[in-house]
């Protein structure tokens, strides 16, 4: 497998310019990565495909979803651990005013805060929101937004709070129901294998009371199962 940044660039390029446009896959990758990871794969994206990531996003995405993706790939976010509690409360108040408190939604405020704040800061905002208004920020996003814009915001928020839990949820969604989403399963297992798969496996077992390996064994076809389990086999359970 190529290095993580090259994988990300290849996945996003295919999602935005392949025979089948997959905006959800592109959103998952972009919104689950840190600012430095995005900047790294942006450089590879241009070097390998002679195309600007921003241009491909502009051509394929639309509306507030496009605005959020463009903000995510162009904004350098702080990646340190420090948190500003006063700013977190102010942002929580701004999000409340932009969403649940008003008729309609001020999407610009959601885009600005979700694309500019660090992961620890977003976690602090989420905590402040719940403390101040008695409702989770996640539920507020679900009630005030929809479609790919909602998915993008939730991906950013959940990956700020607990990326292992987010990817465990996405893996479960890819396997439930009739048939499996082989593309999503492959994408997540391959891209997270050497990053945080041990945490994803732990979150999966905690939520579903069965191991991720067992779920893959029972829900996927034999040839595909062998491929996925061979990747997971190198990771300690």
Q: What is the pLDDT of residue 234?
A: 57
- What pLDDT digit, counting tens, does each position of 154-207 carry? 999 999 999 999 999 999 999 998 888 999 999 999 999 888 999 999 999 999
How far apart are the C-alpha atoms of 76 and 39, rounded to whole Å?
8
**Mean pLDDT taken over the chain:** 94
Choice among 90-94, 100-104, 106-110, 142-146 with the minimum mean pLDDT: 100-104
DSSP secondary structure string for all residues of 156-200:
HHHHHH-HHHHHHHHHHHHHSSSS--HHHHHHHHHHHTTTTHHHH
As a dihedral over the C-alpha atoms of residue 119, residue 123, residue 128, residue 134, rounded to 10 degrees, the angle is 140
């Amino acid at each position: 497998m190529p290095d993580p940044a090259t994988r990300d660039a290849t996945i996003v390029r295919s999602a935005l310019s392949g025979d089948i446009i997959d905006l959800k896959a592109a959103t998952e990758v972009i919104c689950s990565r840190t600012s430095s990871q995005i900047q790294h794969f942006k450089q590879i994206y241009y070097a390998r495909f002679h195309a600007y990531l921003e241009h491909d996003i502009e051509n394929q995405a639309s509306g507030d979803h496009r605005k959020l993706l463009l903000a995510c790939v162009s904004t350098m976010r702080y990646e340190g651990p420090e948190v500003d509690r006063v700013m977190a409360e102010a942002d929580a108040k701004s999000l409340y005013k932009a969403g649940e408190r008003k008729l309609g939604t001020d999407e610009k405020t959601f885009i600005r805060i979700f694309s500019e704040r660090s992961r620890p800061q977003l976690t602090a905002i989420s905590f402040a929101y719940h403390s101040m208004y008695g409702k989770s920020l996640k539920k507020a996003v679900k009630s005030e937004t929809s479609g790919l814009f909602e998915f993008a915001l939730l991906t950013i928020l959940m990956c700020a709070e607990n990326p292992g839990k987010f990817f465990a949820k996405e893996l479960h969604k890819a396997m439930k129901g009739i048939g499996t989403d082989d593309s999503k399963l492959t994408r997540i297992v391959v891209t997270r294998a050497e990053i945080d798969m041990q945490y994803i496996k732990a979150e999966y077992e905690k939520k579903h009371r069965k191991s991720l390996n067992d779920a893959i064994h029972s829900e996927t076809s034999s040839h595909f199962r062998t491929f996925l389990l061979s990747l997971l086999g190198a990771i300690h359970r």
